[in-house]
Amino acid sequence: MSELLEPGMLVRHPGQPDWGLGQVQSVIGARVTVNFEEVGKIVLDSRVVSLEWVIGPPR
């Protein structure tokens, strides 16, 4: 999954909807750093969490 993510992409964490919309900051191997609206920067392992892409304007 991480090979499809790029900095600037908008995503949501399917298991943490209260984190809000996130913007991918960096992708290094399976490590993805995302800046979420409600919790700030989080480093995720894309082998464990499949982030959902947000297409179009944020809701």
**What span, in angstroms and rounded, lies between the C-alpha atoms of 35 and 42?**
6
pLDDT in tens, 5-25: 999 999 999 999 999 999 999
Residue 14 lies in a domain: yes
Residue 28 lies in a domain: yes
Count of domains observed in the chain: 1
Residue 57 lies in a domain: no
pLDDT over 90 at 51, yes or no: yes
Confidence of residue 59 (pLDDT cuts 50, 70, 90): low
Residue 59 lies in a domain: no
Residue 44 lies in a domain: yes
Domain around 43: 2-51
Record the pTM: 0.88
Q: Which helix (H) or strand (E) holds 32?
A: strand 31-36
pLDDT in tens, 31-49: 999 999 999 999 999 999 9
**What span, in angstroms and rounded, lies between the C-alpha atoms of 46 and 38?**
20
Residue 58 lies in a domain: no
pLDDT number for residue 56: 66
